[in-house]
Amino acid sequence: VAVKDNCDLAGHPTTGACGAFRNAVAERDATCISRLKDAGAIVLGKTNMHELAYGGTGALSDFGPARNPWNREHIAGGSSSGSGAAVAAGCVPAALGSDTGGSIRIPAAACGVTGLKPTFGRVSKAGVMPLGWSLDHVGPITRTACDAAILLKVLASGDARDPTTVASPFTDTAKPMDPGILRVAEVAGFPLDPAVARALDAAAVTLADLGYKIEPIRLEASDHAHVAWQAIMFAEAASAYAGDLAAAFDGFTPDVRVQLEAGQHISARTYLDAQRFRVAYGDIFNQKIAGAQAILMPSLPVPAPRLGQDHVDLPGKRVTTQDAMTFTNLTANMLGWPAISVPCGFSDAGLPVGLSVLGRPFDEATVLAVAKAYQAHTDWVRAPSV
């Protein structure tokens, strides 16, 4: 396996792809790595990432940008950019990523592989550099959902080093689950690139053919979720790295240090209101998923943008590339619910498109069952020629 360079690997630097941490050699393994090693995994190396995991493109890194194996002029998606690219390119069968606003699912979608963000508390974050403590998750990037289930079984555990974890082993389904209701979410105010819309429509048809009942829903309050997510992440990251920013100002790129400093100016009132919204947002989603097995969403509204592309044009709307990467994905982080991105097609330019399946907390089994059923009847997990 490969591991994202924000996970401690004893005897090696944990840089977070940030110049300030080039010499930060870890004394012990992160819990996620020790669990993989105990299960017999061999760590082949560490993977590139967006600096401090503070961005969804993977373009900003002390090692240089990660590139997409399907087209090297395009981003790999971030922040677990190297993990997505390494699995897609066939360097490793699995890699660890972390996810604060989509950072496992974004590179998985951009690179045409599978990325699973487990429930908050399912996998220990001990020994993994924080970004937003209450939003951070650790999980696997693999070629298939079957492989993701294998990794999750190893990774899931309570951990005294991470008090947010829950001592509840993950048991995968032994046989296919009966298909139920899936709700396809239209994110209000966030149109999709036509290639993505076509791929998602086709995925819904495939799932309907497999016996799932497809129901459309509309997700409101996404703008509020976006800004509340920013407030929480900015404030928590500012707290985590205030001392490092003061001690090694030039070790951070301007983009990251601006974000870290901005977090210093988020008031307690703003942070607490964002956390209050988060609870209410969970209530909204409990209603949206009631009676259904899972909610389907686009992993990304566009195929992977070009390196250096600051904005993307959606039908009738121009958004920053960063917002395009995170806008739909941050929902699962705000909720703490499990979500998986699986490949569901390609654009005309040959870039992968991803479908996300969002499920109830600690019900990764259902999320994986939907993903496995879909992958058993499609062949979108392909290998780029590299």
Partner 1 sequence: MQSRKGIIQTLTSSGWRKEEAHSVANLAADISTGVAKIPEQLLATEPRMTFKVQRPPSAGSEASC
Dihedral of the alpha carbons of 30, 31, 36, 38, in degrees to the nearest 10: 110
Query: Scanning residues 322 to 351, which ones bind partner 1 (CB under 8 A)?
Result: 335-337
Q: Do the Cβ atoms of 361 and 122 come closer than 8 Å?
A: no
Identify which of 149, 160, 137 has the alpha carbon closest to the alpha carbon of residue 80.
137
Q: Which of 168, 218, 247, 287 binds partner 1 (CB under 8 A)?
A: 168
Dist CA 235 CA 243 (whole Å): 14
Q: Do the Cβ atoms of 170 and 364 come closer than 8 Å?
A: yes
Q: Which residue, 3 or 116, is less far from partner 1 as judged by CB?
A: 116
Catalytic: which of 98, 103, 124, 299? 103
**Which two tokens mark 296?**
């389907």
* 72 forms part of the interface with partner 1 (CB under 8 A): no
Pattern of binders to partner 1 over 251-270, x per CB under 8 A? ---x--xxx-xxx-xxx-xx
* 4 given a catalytic annotation: yes
* 222 given a catalytic annotation: no
Dist CA 46 CA 13 (whole Å): 10
Dist CA 128 CA 149 (whole Å): 21
Catalytic: which of 79, 81, 222, 356? 79
Report the 3 state secondary structure along 205-237.
Answer: HHHHHCCCEEEEEEECCHHHHHHHHHHHHHHHH
The SS3 of residue 67 is strand
Pattern of binders to partner 1 over 351-380, x per CB under 8 A? ---------xxxx-xx--x-----------
Q: Which of 38, 73, 215, 223 binds partner 1 (CB under 8 A)?
A: 223
For the bound state, the minimum distance from the C-beta of residue 293 to partner 1, rounded and expressed in Å, comes to 9
For the bound state, the minimum distance from the C-beta of residue 74 to partner 1, rounded and expressed in Å, comes to 26
DSSP 304-337: PPBTT--EEEETTEEEEHHHHHHTTTHHHHHHT-
Pattern of binders to partner 1 over 225-254, x per CB under 8 A? -xxx-xx--x-------------------x
Termini Cα distance of the chain: 19
Q: Which residue, 32 or 76, is less far from partner 1 as judged by CB?
A: 32
* 280 forms part of the interface with partner 1 (CB under 8 A): yes
Looking at the annotation, which residues are catalytic? 4, 79, 103
Residues of this chain that bind partner 1 (CB under 8 A):
119-121, 133-134, 164, 166, 168, 170-175, 177-178, 221, 223-224, 226-228, 230-231, 234, 254, 257-259, 261-263, 265-267, 269-270, 272-281, 283, 335-337, 360-363, 365-366, 369
